[in-house]
Amino acid sequence: MDGSEINSVNNLPSAEILECPKCGSDLRLTGFLLTKNIACGKCHSLFAYANGNLKVIKIFKKEKKKHNHIPIGTKGTIDGRKFEVVGFANYREANTPYAWDEYTLFNPIHGFTFLSVYEGHWNYFEQTILRPRPQGGDVNLNGDSYRIFNRYKQKTDYALGEFPWDISENPSTITEYINPPHILAHDKDTNEETWFLGRYITPKEIKEAFNLQSHFPEQTGIGSTQLHSSAASLSKVKQITLYVVLSMLVLQIILSISARDKIVFKDQFNIPGNQAGGIVSPPFELENTLFGKSNLQVELIAPVHNSWMEADITLINDKTGEEFHFEQGVEYYSGYEGGEAWSEGQNYTDNTLSSIPAGKYHLNIFPATPPDGGPGYFQLKLTQDVSMLSNFFITLLIALIFPIALWISISSFEAQRWMNSDFSPYSYE
């Protein structure tokens, strides 16, 4: 047999039918010489198979049997290879309640492979001759690091069909290492050690592979090898985020350098004794720009000390009559209390007006000071087209919202994954 005849599901070799020595029912033999154990689904006996002989080695309790969602004898294709489901076993981590099911698949060319399901999450395993390199407590296979996830002894609760080794007694220790969606399982006993390489496989993929319509177990929690739905995009998102941050930095530098920073008005005004009196500034010009608008920074300086000054200011376009009204004030207080000097406020404030059209303007200013005195004068400085760092930080924050949310989501996903591990790098308080 060179494998060329295994070119369709229907061409898998037919099983030989044996008679159960205990109950007389039919036992399928598909793996022939490779089969070591056969379990009868009717009398629940497990037989050692060798040289055509069946020898009973264990009888399972039938109440331990769980439903097999893929019937024995079902044929299907995984990774382009034809397989037949030949065995089904319910395993348990010794001395714990953690239990999982495993389907044994057989192909006469590729041998036995396995579908394992725990809490609705499936992994597809193949035996590998590759030997991973130890890396601390972890292992490395072909340059990929696999982190230790679990170590346990396996116990068989129930079995049905055929198996390539003795499943009645399993003194070996199994260690699982993960690099999602891949997994390495190391099975070691006193005489030999075997490595299995597995990968996460979705229920949909299995149903399609075996053409099944049946209902599979509900998924709970995060599978040991399950990938976050956006995990594949994470490296691209990291790269894009880096480019965006760098582009924004370069843009901000260019915009800061190219900002005109043109002082269009600077004057000092005496505050009228009559508080109701207003001040009309001399006219000034805001130059035209590419889009006809620019920002305008208003700086107010007043020599306040333990006092305040506030100005109600209106910027008026002399041609259109358009007005921009705002209030701006300064306050400064200081003293000495409890042996310590203190101060709060300052005698300077600035305010940036947004999108002011070019044109000729003047200011109407109504200053206000405390009744018991205040500064006698104040200064106003208006600068057209200043660099706006606040816009840079707001844009940066918005651009980073998604990458940060994605990072939080993946971190939380990873923390949940490792909750099932005795080797979790996370601490769960």
Candidates 116-124, 154-162, 219-227, 290-298: pick the segment binding other proteins (CB under 8 A). Answer: 290-298
Q: Which is nearer to other proteins, 62 or 236 (CB)?
A: 236
- Binding status of residue 356 toward other proteins by CB under 8 A: yes
Tokens found for residue 37: 């154990």
- Binding status of residue 351 toward other proteins by CB under 8 A: yes
- Binding status of residue 219 toward other proteins by CB under 8 A: no
Which member of 77, 135, 306, 395 binds other proteins (CB under 8 A)?
395
Tokens found for residue 313: 């200011």
Q: How far is CA 203 from CA 85, 213, 219, 312, 324, in A?
A: 16, 11, 9, 69, 64
d(CA 125, CA 111): 12
Candidates 48-56, 205-213, 294-302, 374-382: pick the segment binding other proteins (CB under 8 A). Answer: 294-302
d(CA 30, CA 32): 6
Q: Which residue has the tokens 């300052």?
A: 346
Tokens found for residue 31: 């793996």
Which member of 150, 295, 347, 369 binds other proteins (CB under 8 A)?
295
- Binding status of residue 249 toward other proteins by CB under 8 A: no
- Binding status of residue 247 toward other proteins by CB under 8 A: yes
d(CA 39, CA 158): 9
Tokens found for residue 149: 């996830």
Least distance (Å) between residue 260 CB and other proteins: 10
Which member of 353, 381, 416, 423 binds other proteins (CB under 8 A)?
353
Which member of 233, 334, 343, 412 binds other proteins (CB under 8 A)?
233
Least distance (Å) between residue 235 CB and other proteins: 11
Beta strand segments in 136-251, E? 138-141, 144-163, 173-179, 182-188, 193-201
Strand-pair partners of 90: 101, 158
* Cα radius of gyration rounded to whole Å, the chain: 39
Q: Which is nearer to other proteins, 156 or 252 (CB)?
A: 252
- Binding status of residue 237 toward other proteins by CB under 8 A: yes
What is the DSSP code (8-state) at residue 141?
E
d(CA 153, CA 172): 6
- Binding status of residue 197 toward other proteins by CB under 8 A: no
d(CA 84, CA 27): 15
- Binding status of residue 389 toward other proteins by CB under 8 A: no
Candidates 37-45, 169-177, 319-327, 413-421: pick the segment binding other proteins (CB under 8 A). Answer: 319-327
Q: Which is nearer to other proteins, 294 or 347 (CB)?
A: 294
Which DSSP string do the residues of 354-404 spell out, in sequence order? EEEESEEEEEEEEEE--TT---SEEEEEEEES---HHHHHHHHHHHHHHHH
Residues of the shown chain interacting with other proteins in the complex, contacts defined by CB under 8 A: 229-230, 233, 236-237, 240, 244, 247-248, 251, 255, 289-291, 293-296, 315, 320-327, 351-356, 385, 388, 390-392, 394-395, 398-399, 402, 406
